[in-house]
């Protein structure tokens, strides 16, 4: 039954990508970026509803009061596909995501990402990618947007950790905007590989803003990593 529900959700999720993506692509030349942002955020909310109704996948959040009304850098744990969908619905609409440029080649979806001011980088570019994140990220922050980045760069199974990349921390150092750390255990219910979405409650922890002015990128990164990984030690890492 879990597999059947998961396949049904995948089909419906694909349809929402098509409907919302096409809406953004078709409207982007006639509306401002804020409208595109709101359509994308609606997509995230619709999918969270589908996850709950079809897969029995719920979310419990602590720390929503820490989310800012204005600009900030969101640095989140990356365990599954869940956060790439649901954070879009949970956060304020004006978001610029740092993501791999290969996603832009996906028909409709890639064009929608561009319309929503994604920061698409070549992960093999090293320093050039960091410079791009600083340049485009600072502009997004100055325009009142959230810059969303997964410092680990790729999905990591529950109970494991990878080295945190410096891109988000360098952006924070150069821009002096605060960092909001987010920890969660979505990978327990939505594996990084596989189709099944297991019923249960994903625990999400949103931390207090980490002030970055006067701190080095290394100090910022360490503070973010210690908070996220410290929270994860308190959350379940397996089903049941």
The whole-chain average pLDDT of the chain stands at 95
Q: Residue 7 falls within a domain, yes or no?
A: yes
Q: Residue 237 falls within a domain, yes or no?
A: no
Instruction: Determine contact, residues 83/76, Cβ cutoff 8 Å.
Output: yes
- Starting at the edge strand found earlier in the chain, the sheet holding 95-100 runs 57-62, 200-206, 179-184, 72-76, 146-149, 95-100, 119-121
What pLDDT digit, counting tens, does each position of 96-107 carry?
A: 999 999 999 999
What pLDDT digit, counting tens, does each position of 12-44 carry?
A: 999 999 999 999 999 999 999 999 999 999 999
Average pLDDT of span 145-174: 94
Instruction: Report the domain count for the chain.
Output: 1
Say whether pTM exceeds 0.75.
Answer: yes
Two tokens at 54? 């079809």
Q: Residue 47 falls within a domain, yes or no?
A: yes
Q: Residue 240 falls within a domain, yes or no?
A: no
Instruction: Determine contact, residues 197/55, Cβ cutoff 8 Å.
Output: yes
Burial class of 220 by CB neighbour count within 10 A (0 to 12, 13 to 18, 19+): buried
Q: Residue 104 falls within a domain, yes or no?
A: yes
Instruction: Determine contact, residues 57/190, Cβ cutoff 8 Å.
Output: yes
pLDDT higher than threshold 90 for residue 240: no
Average pLDDT of span 168-182: 97
d(CA 124, CA 129): 8
Domain span at residue 48 reads 2-232
CA 214 vs CA 193, 204, 217: distances in Å: 40, 29, 10
Q: Residue 16 falls within a domain, yes or no?
A: yes
What pLDDT digit, counting tens, does each position of 124-133 carry?
A: 888 899 999 9
CATH number for position 35: 3.40.1130
Buried b (16+ CB within 10 A) or exposed e, 149-177: bbbbbebbebeeeeebbbbbbbbbbebeb
d(CA 161, CA 78): 10
- What are the helix (H) ranges across the chain? 2-27, 33-55, 82-90, 109-115, 127-142, 167-175, 217-232
Classify the phi-psi angles of 159: left when phi > 0, otherwise alpha if psi is within -120 to 50, otherwise beta. Answer: left
Q: Residue 238 falls within a domain, yes or no?
A: no
Q: Residue 73 falls within a domain, yes or no?
A: yes
């Amino acid at each position: 039954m879990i597999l059947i529900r998961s396949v049904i959700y995948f089909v419906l999720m694909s349809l929402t990508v098509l409907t919302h993506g096409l809406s953004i692509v078709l409207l982007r030349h006639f509306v401002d970026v804020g409208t595109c942002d709101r359509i994308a955020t609606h997509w995230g909310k619709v999918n969270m509803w589908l996850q709950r109704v079809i897969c029995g996948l719920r979310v419990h959040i602590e720390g929503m009061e820490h989310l800012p009304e204005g600009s900030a850098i969101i640095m989140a744990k990356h365990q599954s596909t869940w956060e790439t969908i649901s954070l879009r619905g949970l956060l304020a609409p004006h978001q610029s995501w740092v993501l791999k440029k290969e996603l832009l080649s996906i028909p409709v979806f890639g064009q929608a990402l561009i319309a929503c001011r994604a920061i698409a980088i070549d992960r093999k570019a090293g320093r050039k990618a960091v410079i791009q994140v600083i340049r485009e990220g600072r502009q997004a922050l100055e325009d009142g947007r959230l810059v969303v980045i997964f410092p680990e760069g790729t999905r990591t199974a529950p109970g494991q950790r990878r080295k945190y990349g410096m891109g988000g921390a360098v952006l924070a150092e150069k821009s002096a905007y605060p960092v909001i750390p987010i920890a969660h255990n979505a990978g327990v219910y939505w594996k990084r590989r596989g189709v099944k979405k297991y019923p249960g409650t994903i625990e999400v922890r949103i931390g207090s803003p980490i002030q970055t002015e006067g701190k080095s990128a290394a100090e910022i990164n360490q503070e973010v990593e210690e908070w996220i990984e410290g929270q994860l030690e308190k959350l379940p890492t397996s089903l049941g």
